[in-house]
A and B are shown apart, each in its own frame.
Chain A
Amino acid sequence: MQRIRLRYTKRGRLRFTSHRDFQRAFERALRRADVPMAYSAGFTPHPKVSYANAAPTGTGSEAEYLEIALTESRDPQKLRELLDESLPDGLDVIDAVQARTSGLADRLTASVWELRLDGVAPEDAARAVEAFEKAETVEVQRMTKNGVRTFDARSAVVSLEARAAGGEDGPGDHPCAILRLVVRHVTPAVRPDDVLSGLRVVADLAPPVPAAVTRLAQGLFDEETGTVTDPLAPDREADSSAAAQAPAPEGPA
C-alpha cells in the first residue's frame, strides 16, 4: 500500500466550502480520476483518506493537508495533476509527496495567517496589535455547541504584525490593514477570529466588514527561528535520499 500526502488550497469563493463539503468533493474527484483507493472494511466501505486540521468555513487557505492510501503505486506528481484537474477551480492540489515518514499530523503545530481588514486604518491596527502583544492574557469568548466558552487568545500567538495594504493588494481609495499572525495549534484552538475578538477587547478594534482571512502556511513550529516549516519536507528528503541510493532511477525527474 502506498500513502501519498497532498497539500491543497481553498481559494476565492470556494473558501466558503465547509470541511464536510470538501470531503465529499474530494472523494468524488478520486473516483473521477480513477485513483486506485484503498477502502476501509465493513458494510459501507470508505476510501482511506486522513484529513488534518482543516481551516474553518469561510477562511481561505494555501496550506491544507491530507493523506490518502492507494492499493497500487502512482507517481505523486501525476496524481497531483489529475486530482487538481478533477477538482473545481479554487480547490487546487498544489503539492504531493509519497509518505516516507510517520506522523504528518504531529508536524502541524502552528499556522501562519493573513487577515485583510478592509476599512481599518493601518495605524489603528498597529496600535491594537501593540496592545495585544503587551497583554499577558487576552480573554475572549466564542459560541460553541456547549454554550459560550471563555479562553485566553494571547498565549498561543507567537507573533502578530500589522502593515498597510499596498502594491497589488492595495485598497484603492479606502484604508486597509493587513495582519500577519503566527499561532500555535493548542486546545482549545485559537482561531484568527478569536485573535480579532482579542483586538476588540484590548483596543476596541472593530472592522466595518468581515476580515478576509487566509492560512498561508502550516507546519512544524521551529522554536529557534520562530518560523513555520514545510511539513512535507521530511518526506521529500527521505524520498530523494532513497532515489539517490537506487541503482537506476527511471521516469521523469
Chain B
Amino acid sequence: MSESVFPQLEALLPHVQKPIQYVGGELNSTVKPWDSCDVRWALMYPDAYEVGLPNQGVQILYEVLNECEGVLAERTYSVWPDMEALMREHGVPQFTVDSHRPLGAFDVFGLSFSTELGYTNMLTALDLAGVPLESKDRGLDDPIVLAGGHAAFNPEPIADFIDAAIVGDGEQAVLDMTEIVRAWKAEGRPGGRDEVLLRLAKTGAVYIPRFYDVEYLPDGRIARVVPNRSGVPWRVSKHTVMDLDEWPYPKQPLVPLAETVHERMSVEIFRGCTRGCRFCQAGMITRPVRERSITGIGEMVEKGLKATGFEEVGLLSLSSADHSEIGDIAKGLADRYTEDKIGLSLPSTRVDAFNIDLANELTRNGRRSGLTFAPEGGSERIRKVINKMVSEDDLIRTVSTAYGNGWRQVKLYFMCGLPTETDDDVLQIADMATRVIAKGREVSGSNDIRCTVSIGGFVPKPHTPFQWAPQLSAEETDARLEKLRDKIRGDKKYGRSIGFRYHDGKPGIVEGLLSRGDRRIGDVIRAVYEDGGRFDGWREHFSYDRWMACADKALAPHGVDVDWYTTRERSYEEVLPWDHLDSGLDKDWLWEDWQDALDETEVEDCRWTPCFDCGVCPAMDTSIQIGPTGKKLLPLSVKQPAGAPGGHSH
C-alpha cells in the first residue's frame, strides 16, 4: 500500500506537459524513511504545482512537521487534466511528489484552502487516491481529511467531504493533532475512526463536521447547529500563534526546478491586520497584529537566501508598510544586499507618500517600472463605506511623488459591486485615473506615463462586516464595468494612457456561493466535479454554465437557489452557516460595523487608537504585538567567499 508509485508514473511522464512538476527532488525538500515514522501527513495545496509550490502555509507546516521526531510530511498538488487522464487509464493513484507514495497510505491528508475555488480539485485528488469522497464512507485505514486555510473559516460547503477542519494559524495546531493521532495509533486505534475524530473534537480546537447536526427553518434558513455527541463543544475556536520570532518558518524554503508563480525568499513580517477594511476577510480573521522583530526578519532573510540562492526577497504581510520598523527593515536589507543584486519587494502597500520613500529605497539599485496601489473604491463615499481611509488628494499626492521620482507606471486596484455602490461610484474611477495621468504628465514633463486600472467583482465573505451584504449579480457587475470601460475609452485626452483590466462577474458568483454556502452546497460541488469541473480558479477550465446547471438541480429540492446564497441580504437574526466557528470576532461588533458602513462612518486602526471591542483579544486571550524594538540591522560580517582559491592566493 505504501510503496513508491514512481516506476508506473515514470512511464507516463514523457506524455504529459511539464513533467518536472511531478518528480519532486526540489532543493530543501525532505524525504524521511517511511518506517521510522508513526504519524504521516500528506499536505496539499489544491491547485497546480506552479501555484501550489510557493504557498507559504504549506511550506511552513511541511517543515514544522518534518522537524518532529517520528513524523513525516510530504506534499501533493493537483495534477493537470492530461496527467489525470493517464493516471486513470493506468491505475496510478494520487501521489506525493517527495517519495511518490499513494495519498491513501498517509494518516492525515491536510489541504490548505486559500480560496474556495480549490474544492473540486480536492475531490479529484481523493478520487484518484481511491479514498471515498464522503467522510461517512471512509474506513479505518483511510486518511483523516483535514481542511485549513482561510476558506476553512466556513467549511460547511465541504462538510460532507472533510473529516476535520482547523481554523487559524496551523503551526502549533498540527503538532497538537499529531500527538492525538499518535496516541490513538499506539493504543491500537481503539474505537475506530470515530474515536480519533471525537478525541480531536473534544479539544475544542478541531472542527469535526459529522458531530454537528444542522436544522433548517421552513424558509430555507438555518434554525440551529447542534453538537450530536456529548463532549463536543458548541463552538470551535481559531488558533493563534503569538510570538512569530519563535516560529521562523520556512527556514529552508523549497527551490523548485519547475517554474512557479513566485520565486523569491518570502518572509512574513507580521501576521494580522487591524486597518479594518470591511471587505477584507484576511484582515478580520487573522487578528490581532503580531509583528516579527526586525532582527528576526534579518536572520530569516540571511539564512533563507543562503539556503535557496533566490535573487529576490519578498516582505509579506497584509499591509507590509505598516510594520512599526519597516523603514529600518527596508534600508537595512537594501544596504546588506546591494552587492549581491538581490531585489526587494513589498507587496500590499497602502496609498501614502511614505511608501514612495520605501519603494525608492527598495529599488535604489534597479529599475523603477511600476508601483501598485489599492484604493479599492472609486468615490470618497464608497471608500468610507468600506473603511479604506484614503482620500483622492492623498492618492494624487502619492502618485505625484512617484512620478517625480522616476516611476513611469502606476497600477490601481479596485472592486466593483461593493455594498451601497451605484454606477456613479464606479464611474469616478475614470476621473481618478485621468487626474493621475494629468498629474503624472505635469510632474514628469513627459507624456510617456501610464496608469492601469484593474478591477474585479466584490465577493462578501464570512466573518466580515459584509457577511450580511447582498452580492451584486454577475449581469449588473458586467454592466457597470462596461460603463466604466466606455468612459475610459471615450476620453480623448487621457484614455490612451489608461489601461483597463477587469474580471467579469461570473466567477465571483460561484466564489460567493461557495464562500457563504452551507452544507447543502456540498451536492453542488460534487455534481460539478462529477460533470468534469476542475481547476475553477483558471479561466480556461472554469465553467459558469456548468456550476449554474448543477446548482439549479442540486438546490431545487431544498427550495433555495444561487441568488438566495449570493444576492440576498441577510438579517441580524439569521443563523449564519459559520456561526459555530469562532474567529474571535464578536458578532454584535461585526453587525455594528456593518451598520457603520451603511452610515458611511469610518473606524480607526486600534494599533494607534483605543480598542473598538472587536472581541478578538479577550476571546482568544491574545493581544497586539508591535514594535518598535529600536534595534537596527547591522551590516553582516565580511563574507569569506566559498571556494576561494587556496594554494594560488596570497
Stretch at the interface among A31-39, A133-141, A177-185, A222-230: A31-39
Assess whether A14 is in contact with B257, with CB atoms less than 8 Å apart: yes
Contact pattern, B 5-37, Cβ under 8 Å of A = 1, otherwise 0: 010001101110011101111110000000000
B20 smallest CB distance to A (angstroms): 5
Known: A209-B11, A252-B647. A13 touches B24 (CB 8 A): yes
Assess whether A14 is in contact with B25, with CB atoms less than 8 Å apart: yes
Assess whether B648 is in contact with A13, with CB atoms less than 8 Å apart: no
Assess whether A24 is in contact with B259, with CB atoms less than 8 Å apart: yes
Contact pattern, A 81-109, Cβ under 8 Å of B = 1, otherwise 0: 01000101110000000000000000000
Known: A14-B23, A74-B643. A32 touches B341 (CB 8 A): no
Indicate whether B218 reaches chain A with its CB closer than 8 angstroms. no
Assess whether B259 is in contact with A20, with CB atoms less than 8 Å apart: yes
Contact of A25 among B14, B19, B257, B643 (CB under 8 A): B257
User: How many interface residues does chain B have, given as a range?
Assistant: 35 or more
Q: With the chains together, A73 CA to B14 CA distance in Å?
A: 41
Contact of B309 among A17, A22, A30, A250 (CB under 8 A): A30
Indicate whether B492 reaches chain A with its CB closer than 8 angstroms. no
Q: With the chains together, A75 CA to B639 CA distance in Å?
A: 19
Assess whether A13 is in contact with B646, with CB atoms less than 8 Å apart: no
Contact pattern, A 50-85, Cβ under 8 Å of B = 1, otherwise 0: 000000011000000000000001110011001000
Contact of A31 among B311, B366, B645 (CB under 8 A): B311
B490 smallest CB distance to A (angstroms): 36
Assess whether B648 is in contact with A88, with CB atoms less than 8 Å apart: no
Assess whether A28 is in contact with B20, with CB atoms less than 8 Å apart: no
Q: Please name 4 further chain A to chain B contacts, defined as beta carbons within 8 Å, in addition to the given A24-B259, A32-B306, sorted by A numbering.
A: A14-B257, A32-B308, A82-B643, A250-B648
Indicate whether A18 reaches chain B with its CB closer than 8 angstroms. yes
Known: A16-B20, A209-B11. A78 touches B643 (CB 8 A): yes
Which residues of chain A have C-beta atoms less than 8 A from B341's C-beta? 39, 45
Which residues of chain A have C-beta atoms less than 8 A from B557's C-beta? none
- Select from chain B the residue with minimum beta-carbon distance to A87: B27
Assess whether B20 is in contact with A75, with CB atoms less than 8 Å apart: no
Which residues of chain B have C-beta atoms less than 8 A from A31's C-beta? 305, 309-311, 340
The prevalent SS among residues of B at the interface is loop
- Select from chain A the residue with minimum beta-carbon distance to B9: A13
Assess whether A16 is in contact with B23, with CB atoms less than 8 Å apart: yes
Indicate whether A158 reaches chain B with its CB closer than 8 angstroms. no
Indicate whether A147 reaches chain B with its CB closer than 8 angstroms. no
Indicate whether B367 reaches chain A with its CB closer than 8 angstroms. yes
Enumerate B305-347 residues with CB–CB distance to A below 8 Å: 305-311, 340-341
Indicate whether A170 reaches chain B with its CB closer than 8 angstroms. no
Assess whether A21 is in contact with B643, with CB atoms less than 8 Å apart: no
Chain B CB count within 10 A is highest, among A25, A45, A73, A79, for A25
Q: With the chains together, A17 CA to B259 CA distance in Å?
A: 10
Indicate whether A201 reaches chain B with its CB closer than 8 angstroms. no
Assess whether A28 is in contact with B643, with CB atoms less than 8 Å apart: no
- Select from chain B the residue with minimum beta-carbon distance to A28: B309
Q: With the chains together, A73 CA to B22 CA distance in Å?
A: 39
A91 smallest CB distance to B (angstroms): 8
Which residues of chain B have C-beta atoms less than 8 A from A21's C-beta? 20, 257-259
B97 smallest CB distance to A (angstroms): 10
Which residues of chain B have C-beta atoms less than 8 A from A16's C-beta? 13, 19-20, 22-23
B547 smallest CB distance to A (angstroms): 35
Chain B CB count within 10 A is highest, among A32, A33, A39, A210, for A32
Q: With the chains together, A142 CA to B647 CA distance in Å?
A: 52
Indicate whether B636 reaches chain A with its CB closer than 8 angstroms. no
Contact pattern, B 110-132, Cβ under 8 Å of A = 1, otherwise 0: 00000000000000000000000
Which residues of chain B have C-beta atoms less than 8 A from A20's C-beta? 259
Enumerate B622-650 residues with CB–CB distance to A below 8 Å: 639, 641-648
- Select from chain A the residue with minimum beta-carbon distance to B258: A21
User: How many interface residues does chain A have, given as a range?
Assistant: 35 or more
Indicate whether B396 reaches chain A with its CB closer than 8 angstroms. no
Which residues of chain B have C-beta atoms less than 8 A from A73's C-beta? 645, 648
Known: A16-B20, A75-B645, A251-B646. A89 touches B25 (CB 8 A): yes
Q: With the chains together, A24 CA to B308 CA distance in Å?
A: 12
Indicate whether B255 reaches chain A with its CB closer than 8 angstroms. yes
Enumerate A185-221 residues with CB–CB distance to B below 8 Å: 209-210
Which residues of chain A have C-beta atoms less than 8 A from B24's C-beta? 13
Contact pattern, B 357-391, Cβ under 8 Å of A = 1, otherwise 0: 00000000011000000000000000000000000
- Select from chain A the residue with minimum beta-carbon distance to B305: A31
B629 smallest CB distance to A (angstroms): 30
Assess whether B642 is in contact with A34, with CB atoms less than 8 Å apart: yes
Assess whether A29 is in contact with B309, with CB atoms less than 8 Å apart: yes
Which residues of chain A have C-beta atoms less than 8 A from B18's C-beta? 18
19 A-B Cβ contacts within 8 A? Answer: A13-B24, A14-B23, A16-B13, A17-B257, A20-B259, A25-B257, A28-B310, A30-B309, A32-B309, A34-B639, A35-B643, A39-B341, A44-B366, A73-B648, A75-B648, A88-B27, A88-B257, A210-B14, A252-B646
Which residues of chain B have C-beta atoms less than 8 A from A43's C-beta? 366-367
- Select from chain A the residue with minimum beta-carbon distance to B343: A44
Contact pattern, B 211-232, Cβ under 8 Å of A = 1, otherwise 0: 0000000000000000000000
- Select from chain B the residue with minimum beta-carbon distance to A83: B643
Contact of A251 among B14, B263, B648 (CB under 8 A): B648
Assess whether A13 is in contact with B641, with CB atoms less than 8 Å apart: no
A113 smallest CB distance to B (angstroms): 15
Q: With the chains together, A13 CA to B7 CA distance in Å?
A: 10
